[in-house]
Amino acid sequence: MQSLSDMEIRDLMYLEASAATGNFTRAAKSLGINTSTISRRVGRFEDELGLALFERGHGGVRLTSGGKAVLAHIQRALAELDAIRHASDQNGNGIVGKVRLGVRMPPIGEPLCDLLSGWRAKHPRVGLTIAEMNEWEIQAAVQERRVDVALMTSHTLWPDAVTAPLYRERIVAAVPCEHPLAEQEALDWKRLRKETFLVQGWDNSQSAQAFYASFMGCGVKFQCHAASKQSVFALIAAGFGITLATASQAEVVFPGVVYRPIREDNAWVQVELVWCPEAEDPAIGRFVAYMRDEALSRRLF
């Protein structure tokens, strides 16, 4: 004889169907099994419980008082199992979940806002959290599974990073409103390299300065600040120097700062999607596929 712990889910389903139909034959038909099977399994279940669940008669079966009490628990158990299956299906298909996004730059402006908006519309039950870090912090966070996906510029990537190109952005010059450069319609590297450049920089992260220098060569005066881009803009507005910004960053109005296009073929930056394939769960896989496919279909790079 089976022990109580060996009860099978189908036994609970047999009992519920029998109680609902009041007849083993009809219950068996609804479940697609033989009447003898359901009668035998119900009888065995009653033996295991040591309790008669049904009164049997020529017209069918009827729950005993004990059977009614047991049925209430059976129905709750089956409902919980359905909820478990539903949650498993949704998570397994990436319908619900969470994506932790690491970013090198705030995700403002186009085309990124439109990409994220499209993702949100298609996957409203997948949560998204953002953490802003420098490139070394992002690398560690991805490798240690503290973030799932990251947005980084191509010059900040580590050698073995798994990436997909997302989009290119034009680079513009951010200058004080009262600066002579603000009077120009467009600028070039030759004119800019005479200025003092304010850049974000930390002891372990000088990628911004190296990136700027790749455009203008050596001899350019840099001032590094371990601060946000907004703080750098505040110093520019106060007349301490100029900086470079992406076109999306230039969509944000900052008092005392104006943006001027740069008339150079190489005045752009590539934004990449970075992730760790070994750590992918369905929701993350869906996010990566959506962002990558949308960028490709829109020809953003």
Give the tens place of pLDDT for each residue, 158-173.
888 999 999 999 999 9
Asked whether the beta carbons of 148 and 284 are under 8 A apart, the reply is yes
- Say if residue 46's pLDDT is above 90: no
Q: Three-state SS for 281?
A: coil
* Whole-number pLDDT of residue 90: 54
Backbone angles phi, psi at 59, to 5 degrees: -85, -5
Residues 6 or more apart from 86 whose CB is under 8 A from it? none
- In this predicted structure, which of 62-76, 137-151, 202-216 has the lowest mean pLDDT? 202-216
- Say if residue 232's pLDDT is above 80: yes
**What DSSP line would sit under 208-276, residue for residue?**
HHHHHHHHH-TT-EEEEESS-HHHHHHHHHTTS-BEEEETTGGGS--TTEEEEEB--TT-EEEEEEEE-
Domains of the chain: 4-92 (1.10.10.10), 97-297 (3.40.190.290)
- Say if residue 89's pLDDT is above 50: yes
* Whole-number pLDDT of residue 2: 43
Q: Helix count (H) and strand count (E) of the chain? A: 10, 11
DSSP secondary structure code for residue 118 in this structure: H
For residue 42, the number of C-alpha atoms closer than 13 Å in the C-beta half-sphere is 29
pTM over 0.75: no
